[in-house]
Amino acid sequence: MPMDTEVRQIASSLREYMPVSWESMPDLELYMDQVITYLEREFALFQDAAGNKLITRSMINNYVKDGIVPRPVKKRYARPQLGALTMACLLKRTMPMQSVKEMVVRDGEELNEETYGAFCREFQSVSLEQSELLDGLIDEAGMSRDRMYQLALCFAIRSSIDRYVADRLLDELSREEDRERP
């Protein structure tokens, strides 16, 4: 596949992907193996070239143990757990787990529909921005091997800078919470 076509496909995939909405999540509680199958399907776009698993049984257990994901009820996972797992899996690629926890567990509260909805809207907005940026970069200069490398470098640096900004913002939120406590 020509490089221009491949980059256009990446941009198209970003435009089309949206984390599943709260209402569209299964309304039945799922057991661990069902959760893994469900999430693997949901995150197929984000599977890396090396084939590293985005979610495993031990990852889920660790997220529960660390308080990122609410404890399942009778070994069954419902929307709060599925939403927290979705957020954790999509954020963990660029954020340390403590920061992921701060994003998922706001003000010490279990994930709710409102917080998850805000995450989904922001995810879609950023995905659209990135796909438009990719489309514009292709139209501008075509796509050579060197240009493809420059784009990969640009997005890696962007990710690093975005992580820095997110870390600083979370740190400020934490300090603000400390100041508000009596």
Q: What is the pLDDT of residue 136?
A: 81
Domain around 33: 3-180
Per-residue pLDDT of the chain (182 residues; tens, 9 = 90+): 577 788 888 889 999 999 999 999 998 999 999 999 999 999 888 887 777 788 999 999 999 999 999 999 999 999 999 999 999 999 998 899 999 999 999 878 889 999 999 999 999 999 999 998 888 877 555 677 888 888 889 889 999 999 999 999 999 988 887 778 77
Looking at residue 142, its pLDDT comes to 65
Nearest to 39 by CA among 87, 94, 73: 87
Segment 141-165, tens digit of pLDDT = 567 788 888 888 988 999 999 999 9
Output the pTM of the full model: 0.88
Rounded CA separation 163/80 (Å)? 25
Residues 24-44: tens digit of each pLDDT: 999 899 999 999 999 999 988
Domain count, the chain: 1
CA–CA distance, 38 with 25 (Å, rounded to integer): 10
Angle of helix 97-104 relative to helix 79-91, nearest 10 degrees? 140
CA–CA dist 135, 100 (Å, integer): 30
67: left (phi over 0), alpha (psi -120 to 50) or beta: left
